[in-house]
Amino acid sequence: MSNQFIVIVLVFFSFINVILVSSDTTSDLHGYILVLQWPNTTCFMKNTKFSKNVMYPRSFGIHGLRPINSIFTKPKETSKFHYPKSGLQCPRAIPQDLPIYWPNILKGDNTVFWAHEWESHGRYSGLEICAYFIKTLSLYKKLNTLKLVEALATSSKHVVLGSSYDLPILSAAFKETLGDGKNDITIKCAKIGISYYLWEVHVYVNTTFSLVNSPKLSEGCLKGEDIIFPSPL
């Protein structure tokens, strides 16, 4: 066997290996879930008050952006970059906006919270660290989430704070306000005592950050039980 033939074979298999490795890190990324939490339920669950960093307790805040694969589980890791100990070195809007829209509701240490979100979800998102936070904030603003409570109240279902609703009513209201009237939104409940409370809403998007249908209407809710939308503590 000639040396030239051996070299050609080695080059060929090296090329194939590069293709497999490069595709392996991105091929299973299918989309994202924007997780919004109702801060009043979070505090009620922990029997505590808001952190001083929470500026808008009457608005849904960001819990995180979770990448998903085609079976709605965490995709493969796409970044080895860890959250910097010196903090985010991103455009000016990031440090200004993150404490407002993505605060650590309970403990007040935003940096620890953001580091956790990057390490647990961002490194699997196919995005570099600044893009991960910028894309999440942009999606939050695009959905006009800061005004979601007002939008729910003026929706055709008239969902207001301090009242209870069955799941079909809440699902229809969030589909109308967050889903452009076309896409279902997942509602996540928290059971506190014997009652079920609205805790999170999960908005599904594809890799271009366009809305898509949620694969399920609820999580942690009990069929037939009303869901409380609690007023601020």
pLDDT at 105: 83
pLDDT at 169: 97
pLDDT at 153: 97
Collapsing DSSP to helix, strand or coil, 64 comes out as strand
pLDDT at 10: 35
- Say which residue, 123 or 47, is predicted with more confidence: 123
pLDDT at 60: 93
Provide φ and ψ at 36, rounded to 5°. Answer: -110, 135
As assigned by CATH, the class of the 30-229 domain is alpha beta
**Residue 180: pLDDT over 60:** yes
pLDDT at 57: 59
Average pLDDT of the residues in 103-120: 89
Provide φ and ψ at 93, rounded to 5°. Answer: -65, -25
Q: What is the pLDDT of residues 200-217, one digit of tens each?
A: 999 999 999 999 999 999
Q: How far apart are CA 151 and CA 180, in angstroms?
A: 12
**Residue 44: pLDDT over 80:** yes
Report yes or no: 184 and 222 within 8 Å, Cβ to Cβ: no
Report yes or no: 190 and 179 within 8 Å, Cβ to Cβ: no
3-state helix/strand/coil string of 148-200: HHHHHHCCCCCCCCCEEECHHHHHHHHHHHCCCCCCCCEEEEEEECCEEEEEE
Average pLDDT of the residues in 61-65: 95
- The structure's pTM equals 0.85
pLDDT at 56: 55
Average pLDDT of the residues in 43-63: 72
Q: How far apart are CA 219 and CA 228, in angstroms?
A: 15
pLDDT at 187: 98
Q: How far apart are CA 213 and CA 66, in angstroms?
A: 16
* 19: number of Cβ within 10 Å: 10
Per DSSP, which regions of 12-165 are E strands? 31-37, 61-68, 163-165
Report yes or no: 201 and 187 within 8 Å, Cβ to Cβ: yes
Average pLDDT of the residues in 77-81: 96
pLDDT at 26: 47
Picking from 81-90, 115-124, 194-203, which range would have the lowest pLDDT averaged per residue? 81-90
Q: How far apart are CA 121 and CA 35, in angstroms?
A: 12
pLDDT band at 68 (very low <50, low <70, confident <90, very high): very high
Region of residue 173 (left: phi > 0; alpha: psi -120 to 50; beta: else): alpha
pLDDT at 206: 97
**Residue 164: pLDDT over 80:** yes
